Every structure is written in C-alpha cells, then in structure tokens.
Structure 1
C-alpha cells in the first residue's frame, strides 16, 4: 500500500495533504478553494487515507474538467467511528445517473473497497457534491474512539 500512496501522504498527515493538494489545485486552475477539517483527528489506516486522498484528487479533476465552477469546498470530518469527506462546487452541475464516467465509477469502487459509501448529488445549474463516508479504522487497525451506532 505504501508504494501506491501519494507522495504527499508519505510526508504528512491526511488533513495537511488535502490542504496542500487543494491549494496547489486552486492556484493551477484559478478557482477559489477552501479546506475545512472538523472533529478530533485520528491517524487512519493507510488504505483509508489513500482512498480519501484519491477521491479528493478525482473530484477536483472533475471540477476542473467539467464544472465551470468559481468555488470549491473540501471538508474532512472526523465523526467518531466514521470519517466523512465532502467535495462540493458551485459549477454547472449535471443530471445524476446520466453519463457518469470512469472517474465517478472508480471513486465508488475505491470507497466501497474500504467498507464505505459514496454519494454524488448534482443538478443542472446547482453545482455538485461528492460525499464519502468511511469507517474510521486507525493506523493500528482498531476503530476510532467515538459513538457507535
């Protein structure tokens, strides 16, 4: 897994890697982007961190290619036994379920592979939101502290 990990994750934690990724993306594409981290940060298993990082990358790539957005928000939330990732834009949006491409399919497969769920919400003229919900399995293999359902 380490060989497949993005270089940013090898040098820092997930929140900082997402900030760096988003800042570089924003500068490169000239689109305002903001990152917010909520909750108590837990070091997660490498598989989960890589998956969340890659979903953020793919979501930002989709925004740059398709959205014509002026703003993007990335939120990473540590919520007890789950970690939530939201990438949302104010772009042109699309009719969900129609013409979903390889990027969205690969994000779904990646998140499903770590026991999570991904939801895409969009409508023409309303922007797009990609939301991932994954178990907070820590780097040591246990579940993060918090409320369990």
Structure 2
C-alpha cells in the first residue's frame, strides 16, 4: 500500500510555493536528505523567472522524478541538481554516483513520463548512464 501511495504522489503535480521553483526544490532536497540519507547538492544560475509557469512546473516534476529514481535505483549517497536558466534552451542536470544501468529499449515508466513532459514543452530529455559510474538526466528546454 505504501508503494501505491508513493506512486500516486509522484503523479500528482505539487503547485509551486511562494519561494518559487528553486526555493521549493531546496526544501525538497533537504527533506530528501532527511528521509533517505541521500545528500542533494543543488545549484542554479540565471533567473527562474525567465521560464514560463508551465516550464517551471515541468522542471519541478522532472527533478522530482529524477530524485525518486536516484532513491529507488542508484544506491548513491549523493546527488547533484544543476539548473541553468540564463541560456536558451535552459538546462537542468540531475546526476548521481550510483550503480548506473545498461540502457534498455525506452527505460521505465518514470523515464517515459519525463520524456513526455519535456516533449510537451518543446524540450527534450536525455539520459546518460554508465554501469558502475552513475547516471545523469539532462532536461533541455525549448529553443
């Protein structure tokens, strides 16, 4: 039952709070570290206000799913989230130092959902993973 609740929570978008995207993600990173013992180093450059509300929502959802994947699959004790809002396209990078994986045809539902969200705003999602060396998820915003 716990897994079903977690899956449903992952599907439900959380509205951004008064601290904006970066503030909300910092809070999530702190909570993630407290709950799961995985340290999240979060950095950002540029102004998040350059992104439309829809783009900010997609960034929040993709980062949330990527963190969930780190927790469930990587075995890593550290994760890095880098957000660059100043360039076109914007770039979000979530990386871990975990076990990595051999890419299968399409990946799981989480990766598929992240790809669909990226495509829905005219962006794209790329995943680079090396077995034994970790995984990096790149979200490129629209041009």
TM-score by length of 1: 0.81
Equivalent residue number for residue 15 of structure 1: 22
Equivalent residue number for residue 134 of structure 1: 141
1:86 aligns with 2:93: yes
Which stretches of structure 1, 4 residues or more, deviate above 6 A after TM superposition?
none
Q: CA deviation at 1:10?
A: 3.4
Q: CA deviation at 1:41?
A: 3.7
**Higher RCO structure, 1 or 2 (CA under 8 Å, sep 6+):** 1
Q: CA deviation at 1:80?
A: 2.7
Uncovered stretches (5+) of structure 1, i.e. residues with no partner: 137-149
Contact 2:123 2:140 (C-alpha < 8 Å) held by counterparts: yes
**For the residues of structure 2 that align with 1:124 and 1:45, how far apart are their CA atoms?**
36
Equivalent residue number for residue 14 of structure 2: 6
Q: CA deviation at 1:5?
A: 4.8
Q: Select 2:130's aligned residue among 103, 119, 123.
A: 123
**For the residues of structure 2 that align with 1:6 and 1:70, how far apart are their CA atoms?**
25
Equivalent residue number for residue 75 of structure 2: 68
Moved more, 87-96 or 18-27: 18-27
Q: CA deviation at 1:57?
A: 0.6
Equivalences for 1:85-124 in 2 at 5 Å? 85-98=92-105, 100-124=107-131
Moved more, 91-100 or 71-80: 91-100
Q: Select 2:46's aligned residue among 19, 30, 39.
A: 39
3-state secondary structure, aligned to 2:73: helix
TM-score by length of 2: 0.85
Q: CA deviation at 1:42?
A: 2.5
Moved more, 78-87 or 30-39: 78-87
Contact 1:13 1:43 (C-alpha < 8 Å) held by counterparts: no
